Chain A
Amino acid sequence: MKRTSIRIAVLLAIVILLPALATAHNVSKRDATFVQANTGAAVAPFLYLGAKHMVTGYDHLLFLVGVIFFLYRLKDVVQYVSLFTVGHSLTLLGGVLGGIHANSYIIDAIIGFSVVYKAFDNMDGFKRFFNFQPNTRLAVLIFGLFHGFGLATKLQEFTLAQSGLVTNIVSFNVGVEIGQVLALTGVLIGLSYWRTRPGFLQHAFLTNTVLMVGGFILVGYQLTGYFVA
């Protein structure tokens, strides 16, 4: 029995990490050429780019795995993911349209930190150490704001044509949501299956430790980038 759950844990880890290994996180150079040369509204391409960014954006995915890890009811999943969506939509639209330029390495480091935070939260660290449970919904919303800034900086690395700007950013944002739903569906299927196994709770702590490792790696990776790139 125990062996099965370990196998599932490994499988889940592979499913989560595979896109990270296979693709680079930034909008690829070929996509970048399109974004720059594009003028006017182009709904479908920006939808696709947004969805692609989300499905292959392992930092956003790690955070969402942490968020839905202990959510058993679909109602809760929908509620938390909606809060995350509201948060990152606000800053994605506001950041690009308002011309707010944040440093992408710093933002990505904060996104990495959000993974560490959520893993610590899932370990019940706040209750144990500070005798206090920060509002989990508020945390998802606030970190959602940072994730949105991260998405915005990815688009701002290119000069976007002014014509059709709003349409294109909204398309990108809708694409992000589509990608998020696609990725979450996969994660939820994996988690739901795993939860039916007796090993889930035994390995939940270990999994969140692994999640925390992932978060720390992201923080170190981005901070190094900030100093060397």
Chain B
Amino acid sequence: MSEETYTVTIHPPSKKRIAKAAFVALISAAALLVTAVLPAEYGIDPLGTGKLLRLTDLAKADAQTPEKAATSAPDSKSEEPPATIMPVLEPSPNGSAPIVKGAFIAQSKRYKIDSREMKLAPGEGMEIKYNMKKGSGLIYSWTASDKLLFEFHGEPNVKPAGKEGTDYYETYELDDQVGKDQGHGTFVAPTSGIHGWFWENKTGKEVNIKLVSAGFYDWIFQNVKNKETALKTMDPDIIPSHPKVPDEVLH
């Protein structure tokens, strides 16, 4: 392409001019990097210019933007089911059975199931979390071959004010002293986000762990050694139909 250029260029650049331009380019780039780009992108501010120009705020705000984008996604805020079950007993208008309002949270889709067996090497930690909307329910059981330290916790999609862009999470149950070899429960997601467990094997040997659950989740988040994976859920249809055994007759 240059062949074409220099048939029309009036003054072909001299060696000195190119060297000067390259040097100026390098120096300007370094100056812009140190005074603006690094403070704004990484919060690295060797000369204090980032703070002076309030560019370091960008480094923090930058991390917030995706969170804000996530909240505008239609699934997280459009319908806000209650996060907790709060039944209210109302007398029947016609003298029949009393009515209990707010005893369940209705869902538009079928629930999903999950069943997985995992191994934790000594010293290893692992995280399994379910992606659930606020007010969605989960029934779970996990059993382990030995005691595991664990934290049952959730990361809301929408972080509280001032915590945007951080690894903010909320704890539901924590045992980081003795540990347990099982946990069973019914969980109603207090926020839209990912909810689940972090287990850590502090015993000297490998521990097997089995987790089974049913609930209203779309995908499962797994984090092993900082490798984040979105795992698939199973459809309840894979459970075999009612076995052909005689049912007990109730009197």
User: Residues of A at under 8 Å CB distance from B?
Assistant: 24, 28-30, 33, 36-37, 39, 70-72, 76, 80, 116, 119-125, 127-129, 133, 136, 158-159, 161, 201, 204-205, 208-210, 212-217, 219-221, 224-225, 228-229
Contact = CB atoms under 8 A, between A and B. Distances in A.
A224 B44 contact: yes
A110 B40 CA distance: 22
Nearest to B19: A129
A118 to B, nearest CB: 10
29 contacts: A28-B69, A30-B70, A36-B219, A37-B131, A37-B230, A70-B2, A119-B25, A120-B18, A121-B2, A122-B2, A123-B21, A124-B2, A124-B5, A124-B18, A158-B230, A159-B229, A161-B232, A201-B10, A209-B24, A212-B22, A214-B29, A216-B29, A217-B29, A217-B37, A220-B29, A220-B37, A221-B33, A225-B42, A229-B42
Contacts of B10: 201
Chain B contact-residue range equals 35 or more
Given A37-B131, A120-B22, A213-B25, 13 more contacts: A30-B69, A30-B70, A120-B18, A124-B13, A125-B18, A129-B15, A129-B18, A133-B2, A161-B232, A205-B17, A216-B26, A216-B29, A221-B41
Interface in B185-235: 218-219, 228-230, 232
B230 A159 contact: yes
B236 to A, nearest CB: 18
Interface stretch (B59-67, B86-94, B101-109, B110-118): B59-67
Interface of B: 1-2, 4-6, 8-10, 12-15, 17-19, 21-22, 24-26, 28-30, 32-33, 37-38, 41-42, 44, 62, 65-67, 69-70, 73, 131, 218-219, 228-230, 232
Nearest to A225: B42
A105 to B, nearest CB: 12
B2 A136 contact: yes
Nearest to B231: A159
A214 B2 CA distance: 21
A154 to B, nearest CB: 15
Contact of B30 (A119, A120, A215, A220): A220
Contacts of A123: 13, 18, 21-22
Nearest to B5: A70
A221 B30 CA distance: 10
Main SS class of interface, B: helix
* Interface-centre pick from B4, B24, B25, B37 (highest chain A CB count, 10 A): B25
Nearest to A72: B4
B15 A29 contact: no
B13 A33 contact: no
Contacts of B218: 37
A220 B33 contact: yes
Contacts of A36: 219, 229-230
A36 B70 CA distance: 14
Contact of B44 (A128, A217, A228): A228
A201 B37 CA distance: 30
A205 B28 CA distance: 16
* Interface-centre pick from A123, A133, A225 (highest chain B CB count, 10 A): A123
Contacts of A216: 25-26, 28-30, 33
Given A29-B66, A37-B230, A201-B9, A217 B33 contact: yes
B70 A33 contact: yes
A225 to B, nearest CB: 7
Contacts of A119: 25
Nearest to A38: B230
Nearest to B41: A221
Given A212-B25, A220-B37, A221-B33, A228 B42 contact: yes
A24 B65 contact: yes
